[in-house]
């Protein structure tokens, strides 16, 4: 029953008073590092973010933090070694802002490039840019990672609650009141219209299925 109700729930969020953008749910401790502009690249095992180059995406703080047991040696505290990363590791969300379950920023996405094991081992700068340790490249990924440049991060005027997290890229809505003045309004409108159209097609498909 819950699944059959989902399209109607989403349909009510698509209106002239909202924008809709593709969204990434990212777990702590990485989301505050992105929010403050310390983490310059987002990494993935697959090139899923390549299609979003030159686009806006929303930053959602996942409901669950990264499990320390699963992170192994790739914790922020284990890979810091310079003052820059020590400072970044102490970053947290602004006072009064939630630490989980909210959209907190609009990200401008850049190009995606493949960072291989040899390159990661040779150039320590990738640890500064991604907060992914070289040990993680070696232990978890046979060939390397796809790194997507985060051109600019625009903090919202206020955080917006999203009641659940999602795997991969998913659409989320924002009220107009949350959009920061630093965003290009015409560009945002165009991208939101395209995402609303895509979401509406998905809703129609879901309605047929259920």
> Hey, what CATH topology would domain 22-168 get?
2.30.130
* Residue 89 pLDDT: 54
Q: Cα dihedral sign for 42, 48, 50, 53?
A: negative
* Residue 115 pLDDT: 87
Largest CA distance in the chain: 55
The span from the CA of 61 to the CA of 37, in Å, is 15
What tens-digit pLDDT sequence spans the chain (210 residues)? 344 444 434 444 456 688 999 999 998 878 888 998 989 999 988 899 999 999 999 999 988 776 555 555 555 555 544 445 555 555 678 888 988 899 999 999 999 999 887 777 777 788 888 887 776 666 665 688 899 999 999 999 999 998 776 778 888 989 999 999 999 999 999 999 999 888 776 656 544 443
* Residue 80 pLDDT: 47
Q: Could you please report the per-residue DSSP string of 29-69?
A: THHHHHHTT---EEEESS-TTGGGTT-EEEEEE-SSPPPHH
The span from the CA of 80 to the CA of 13, in Å, is 41
**Number of other CB atoms surrounding residue 73 within 10 Å:** 11
The span from the CA of 89 to the CA of 83, in Å, is 10
* Residue 45 pLDDT: 85
**Number of other CB atoms surrounding residue 8 within 10 Å:** 11
CA nearest to 22, candidates 62, 63, 61, 56: 56
- Beta strands across the sheet bearing 169-175: 41-44, 144-161, 102-116, 56-61, 18-26, 169-175
* Residue 83 pLDDT: 46
Element (H, E) at 25: strand 18-26
* Residue 65 pLDDT: 72
8 phi-psi bin (left φ>0, alpha ψ -120 to 50, beta other): alpha
């Amino acid at each position: 029953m819950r699944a059959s109700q989902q399209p109607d729930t989403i349909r009510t969020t698509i209106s002239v008073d909202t924008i809709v953008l593709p969204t990434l749910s990212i777990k702590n401790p990485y989301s505050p590092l992105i929010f403050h502009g310390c983490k310059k690249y987002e990494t993935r095992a697959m090139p899923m973010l390549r299609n979003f180059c030159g686009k806006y995406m929303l930053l959602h703080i996942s409901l669950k933090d990264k499990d320390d047991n699963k992170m192994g040696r790739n914790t922020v505290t284990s890979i810091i070694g310079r003052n820059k990363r020590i400072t970044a590791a102490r970053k947290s969300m602004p006072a009064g802002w939630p630490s989980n379950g909210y959209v907190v920023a609009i990200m401008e996405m850049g190009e995606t490039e493949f960072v291989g094991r040899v390159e990661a081992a040779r150039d320590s700068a990738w640890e500064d840019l991604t907060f992914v340790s070289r040990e993680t490249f070696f232990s978890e990924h046979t060939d390397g990672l796809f790194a997507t440049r985060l051109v600019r991060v625009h903090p919202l005027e206020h955080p917006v609650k999203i009641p659940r997290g999602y795997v991969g890229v998913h659409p989320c809505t924002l009220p107009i009141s949350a959009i920061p003045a630093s965003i290009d309004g015409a560009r945002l409108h165009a991208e939101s219209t395209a995402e609303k159209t895509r979401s509406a097609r998905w809703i129609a498909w879901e309605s047929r299925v259920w």
